[in-house]
Amino acid sequence: MRYDFMILDVFTAKPFGGNQLAVLTDARGLTSEAMQTIAREFNFPESTFVLPPDDPAHARRVRIFTPAVELPFAGHPTVGTACALAISDAVPLGHIVLEEGVGPVPVTTATDGANFSARFRLSRAPEHFDPPSADDMAAILSLDPGEIVDVFSASVGVNFTYVHLRSREAVDQCQLDLDAWRRLLSSHPASQVYMFAGDLEDGGEIYSRMFGPSFGIAEDPATGAAAAAIVGVAASRSGSLDLRITQGVRMGRPSSIQASATAEAGEVRSIEVGGSCALIAEGSIEVPDDYLER
């Protein structure tokens, strides 16, 4: 059976940048095994599979797969899937709700006539975990421990360990030591590694990279779930703020993420993350019958 798909570059207005995403716009009839196999075939950081919603008040249900695992939530697939549905006129521009593994996720889509964009909203604070030591993270990232400013672990549905480094140059120098990662971090609740430089303050800009070996992602060009958690952590420390995040530069796939959070008395009330998308391709994939629900 043939299934239609769209390929978008997410968190960029220019084709061939940002983070690649495959969206199967009507995935009814596919088994979970088929979805995982198709995601591995595309081999993008994530692929999404769009289904009818459980609640008719919502736009669609979305399942998200990396080449290795299914995720309950992810940022660039949420933004990209919302844009794909708007581009194809499957949903109207404006406010919609996507059902994901973490529950309903409100998303707002827009267009300026040339580019589509989307912004999702979370109404919860990040979850925190006891972080690994700076020495362990230095070993994992092949860095001198003196380059590390801070280490913390947090999540809004996908868990990350954040390593704040002294400079953009230090971020670019990071090389994942897989043996050290397996020994020191693979069993930690937040085993994906997000390195960044810059100031976590209102109007600040940070420069980042992300290694996701547990997800089958060697390096991610843009990580919206990580952006959501880090802006939430920053807001819990210093109050409401906006951040601009640049990622994927060293990979040759520059991305730009806008993230904001509101907080009162140290309590995070809401988090928003968004950016532009570029439509790259449309087509269909032939799926053998033994991958279909019976």
Active site residue ranges? 46
Pairing mode, strands 267-286 and 116-122:
antiparallel
Rounded to the nearest 10°, the torsion over CA 43, 120, 149, 136 is: -40
* Dihedral of alpha carbons 205, 165, 212, 63, sign: negative
Question: If you ran DSSP here, which 8-state letter would residue 146 be given?
Answer: G
Q: Cα separation of 251 and 230, whole Å?
A: 21
Q: Cα separation of 139 and 121, whole Å?
A: 35
Cα 218–80–4 angle (5° rounding)?
A: 95
Please check whether residue 119 is in contact with residue 107, taking contact to mean a CB–CB distance below 8 angstroms. Answer: yes
Q: What residues pair up with 51 in beta bridges, in sequence order?
A: 61
> Helices 75-87 and 224-238 sit at what angle, rounded to 10 degrees?
120
For residue 136, give the H/E element and its range.
helix 134-140
Please check whether residue 228 is in contact with residue 75, taking contact to mean a CB–CB distance below 8 angstroms. Answer: yes
Q: Cα separation of 192 and 288, whole Å?
A: 34
